[in-house]
């Protein structure tokens, strides 16, 4: 009887939390195109409609392409949560991308942050799939290659400097991956991405794919980092 009461109390608490959360969502819209859908949940009363439309356009321009090229089994129904309680920039997991509306106000042209985040949905790596720096490096590489207009958003890859290393992640790793694609072995990123998703990645994967270890690749990159 005590366990039943505890379960009942938990259900009531969950219902209350759902109701409280729901009252914060000011608008909820669903858009569909060519087998993909996007739900926009917004908690910001001041969300710029032009910015919202740019996020929608970027999703439909980029996500189907990433799905087709990297992972045809990725989710087809995605939610963007514009969340005033969120203090980061953006994050992704499962079927959802959560975005800080304050960032959108300060950077209204940075809609290619969506390209980075939806790549995380495409990646869908299991736990312990591989190093986090490669996960983020691939996502930024994808933003550079498939982004709609990174220049408009003030986003670019950094120049090489001697204090960098391949495991610095994000844009530094992305630039290294771009160099490998251009100078060593096209298709390397796609193979690394597949290895991470199938939990077959290992440090030796770099040599198996390119003929060189990651340290050897970095040494060659550092000697001539032009992209």
Listing DSSP states for 69-91 in one string gives HH-TTS-SEEEEEE-TT--SSEE
* Domains in the chain with CATH codes: 25-124 (1.10.390.10), 128-227 (no CATH)
C-alpha span between 199 and 39 (Å, rounded)? 30
What pLDDT digit, counting tens, does each position of 109-152 carry?
A: 999 999 999 999 999 999 999 999 999 999 999 999 999 999 99
155 in Cβ contact with 110 (< 8 Å): yes
User: What pLDDT is recorded for position 115?
Assistant: 98
Which pLDDT tens digit goes with each residue over 11-55?
555 544 444 454 488 889 999 999 999 999 999 999 999 999 999
Q: 45, exposed or middle or buried, with CB in 10 Å at 0-12, 13-18, 19+?
A: exposed
Tell me the pLDDT tens digit for each residue of 74-83.
999 999 999 9
Mean pLDDT of the chain: 92
Length of the chain in terms of residues written: 227
């Amino acid at each position: 009887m005590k366990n039943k009461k505890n379960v009942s109390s938990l259900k009531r608490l969950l219902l209350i939390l759902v109701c409280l959360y729901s009252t914060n969502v000011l608008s909820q819209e669903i858009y569909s195109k060519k087998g993909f859908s996007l739900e926009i949940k917004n908690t910001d009363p001041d969300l710029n409609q032009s910015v919202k439309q740019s996020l929608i356009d970027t999703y439909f321009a980029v996500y189907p392409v990433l799905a087709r090229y990297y992972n045809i089994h990725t989710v087809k129904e995605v939610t963007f949560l514009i969340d005033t309680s969120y203090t980061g920039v953006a994050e992704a997991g499962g079927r959802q991308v959560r975005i800080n509306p304050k960032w959108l106000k300060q950077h209204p042209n940075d809609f290619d942050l969506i390209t980075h985040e939806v790549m995380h949905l495409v990646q869908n790596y299991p736990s312990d799939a591989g190093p986090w720096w490669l996960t983020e490096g691939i996502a930024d590489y994808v933003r550079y290659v498939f982004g709609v207009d990174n220049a408009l958003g003030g986003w670019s890859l950094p120049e090489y400097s001697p204090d960098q290393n391949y495991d610095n992640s994000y844009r530094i790793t992305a630039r290294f991956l771009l160099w490998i694609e251009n100078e060593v072995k096209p298709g390397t990123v796609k193979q690394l991405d597949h290895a991470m998703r199938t939990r077959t990645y290992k440090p030796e994967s770099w040599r198996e794919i390119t003929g060189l270890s990651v340290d050897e690749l970095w040494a060659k990159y550092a000697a001539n980092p032009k992209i």
